[in-house]
Amino acid sequence: MKLVIGNQKAFMSSDDVYAFIGGMEGNCFDNVVICPSYPYIGMYSKLGIKVGAQDVSISDNGKATGEVTVNQLKSLGVSYCIVGHSERRSFFAEDDDLVNRKITKLLDNDMVPILCVGESFEDKENGRSVDVVLNEVCSAFNGVNFSSLNRIIVAYEPIWSISDGIRAGVTPSCDEIKGVISSIKNYVKDNYGVSIKVVYGGSVNLSNVDALNDIDILDGYLIGGASLKVDSFVELAKKCL
Nearer to ligand PGA among residue 194 and residue 228 (C-beta): 228
Catalytic residue (choose from 122, 157, 176, 235): 157
Catalytic residue (choose from 25, 67, 85, 87): 85
**Does 203 interact with ligand PGA (rule: CB under 6 A)?**
yes
157 among known catalytic residues: yes
What residue type is assigned to position 66 of the chain? Answer: G
The answer to whether the beta carbons of residues 3 and 241 sit under 8 Å apart is no
Stretch that binds ligand PGA, among 26-34, 107-115, 138-146, 200-208 (CB under 6 A): 200-208
Q: What is the DSSP letter of 109?
A: T
Stretch that binds ligand PGA, among 47-55, 96-104, 143-151, 224-232 (CB under 6 A): 224-232
Q: How far apart are CA 225 and CA 164, in angstroms?
A: 10
Which residues, 6 or more positions from 33, have their beta carbon under 8 angstroms from its beta carbon?
3, 4, 5, 6, 49, 50, 51, 52, 80
Binding to ligand PGA in span 3-22, by CB under 6 A: 7
Binding to ligand PGA in span 136-165, by CB under 6 A: 157, 162-163
**Does 199 interact with ligand PGA (rule: CB under 6 A)?**
no
What residue type is assigned to position 13 of the chain? Answer: S
What residue type is assigned to position 191 of the chain? Answer: N
122 among known catalytic residues: no
Q: How far apart are CA 115 and CA 13, in angstroms?
A: 26
Which residues, 6 or more positions from 22, have their beta carbon under 8 angstroms from its beta carbon?
230
Nearer to ligand PGA among residue 111 and residue 162 (C-beta): 162
Residues acting as catalytic residues:
85, 157
Binding site for ligand PGA (CB under 6 A): 7, 157, 162-163, 201-204, 222-226
